[in-house]
Amino acid sequence: MTQVIPLVEYETCFLAPSDLREDDAWRINIQFGDKVTVEWPTPKTGNKWQLTSQGWVGYIPLGEDRGISLLPKVSLQNLFGMLEYAYDLGSFRFLEGLYNCESIHEFYERLAIILARRLLDRAREGLYKAYKEDHEELTYVRGCIDISALSRNPVRSKIPCSFEDHTIDVEDNQIIAWTLHTILRSGICTEWSIHILRKAERVMRNAVSLVPFCDYDCLGRVYNRLNADYDVLHKICRFFLENTGPSQNLGDRTMVPFLVDMARLFELFVARWMSQHLDPRYFLGVQESFTVGEKGKLKMLMDMVLYHRETKTPLCVLDTKYKAHSTVSNDDYYQVVAYADALNCENAVLIYPRQLEYPFDEKPGRIRVKTAVFDINDDLDHSGSSLLEDLLQAFQVQDGITLS
């Protein structure tokens, strides 16, 4: 029988000494210490294990019969809505059935099945092929003779050739193959989904190389009429590769965790939602970098910057802060002021997922800093509209942003 320890983000769970094996505690501490903190049983902890989630959601397998389920504070309905926006999955209209999932664990599994089925459908039509440059020594001439290699060793039984091979062993398919391999290693999927996932993996295994990829390999890819449907496949792959790791191991037995960084998800979600609801006269710069100094050793990375499209003038620097304190911390204040100053912008906003006990709106110098809320526990569209309305009133750009 599987033993699953539930942990809600930023809350502490106390366990009896017999409820957690010490080797599991060491594994959590060493491998996942930044996701879950562990305190050993001592008189200070009431002689109990003390586990505290650090703002991650998902599942950490500790063995085939035990694991830790990291639960969100936000409702699952809103969590799925955030994932829809953050990974651009909603535009493909296949998530309706997933909203009936009762856990992030089940959501992960059902989305994996969607990936497998879409791949199998594409395989029946024929996987995408592209020309790939190859070099090989052959008994006959194929393509062009590699003169450089031949000149280094002219006495040989085979001819070095350079040619292009029309093959399915290309990045578009390798990304999907690696994603399926990663999902199967996660230890999360149950028997009812393993069959179709293994069937999809076998389709790829015979002709596609197993090469490690990361989530950013799924971004900025170019599609044409022959591989247009790979766009959705790679967006699903990005979700799994960004939230399942580590990815550098090729072994079949290592169980890898499925973990969603809620702070990162909140940042992605807010940026995507705002981008889709801004008036065309304005645009949102996301993850913009700014170097300081001649050698550029100091680098600033800003979550979002709101620009006027025609003049390219920065109107406001926006920075998301997932963990809400009672009020703005000194570090958060200095950080966003530095961002605004670097862009010669007079407005900066710190966006939190819930209302602060002491909201902030001050302008001690040239730069005005205020707090705003995108309440992820409320209806997401309503919360987003409230955030935009707050910005309109604060910075008087009402003629430029719609609230729809």
User: pLDDT tens-digit profile of 157-172?
Assistant: 788 888 777 789 999 9
Q: Which of 54-63, 224-233, 261-270, 368-377 has the lowest mean pLDDT?
A: 54-63
Distances (CA, A) of 158 to 147, 207, 212: 13, 26, 32
The mean-pLDDT minimum among 46-55, 90-99, 255-264, 331-340 falls in 90-99
Nearest to 115 by CA among 210, 169, 196: 196
pTM (2 d.p.): 0.79
Q: Which of 54, 111, 53, 59 is nearest to 80 (CA)?
A: 111
pLDDT at 249: 40
Return d(Cα 113, Cα 390) in angstroms, integer.
41
- Measure the CA–CA gap between 241 and 269, rounded to whole angstroms: 17
Greatest alpha-carbon span in the chain: 81
**Averaged pLDDT, 223-252:** 79
Q: How far is CA 184 from the centre of its chain?
A: 19
For residue 144, pLDDT over 90 is answered with: no
Task: Give the count of beta carbons closer than 10 Å to the beta carbon of residue 334.
Answer: 11
Angle at 15 between CA 13 and CA 20, to 5 degrees: 115
Please determine, for residue 183, whether its predicted confidence score (pLDDT) is greater than 70. yes
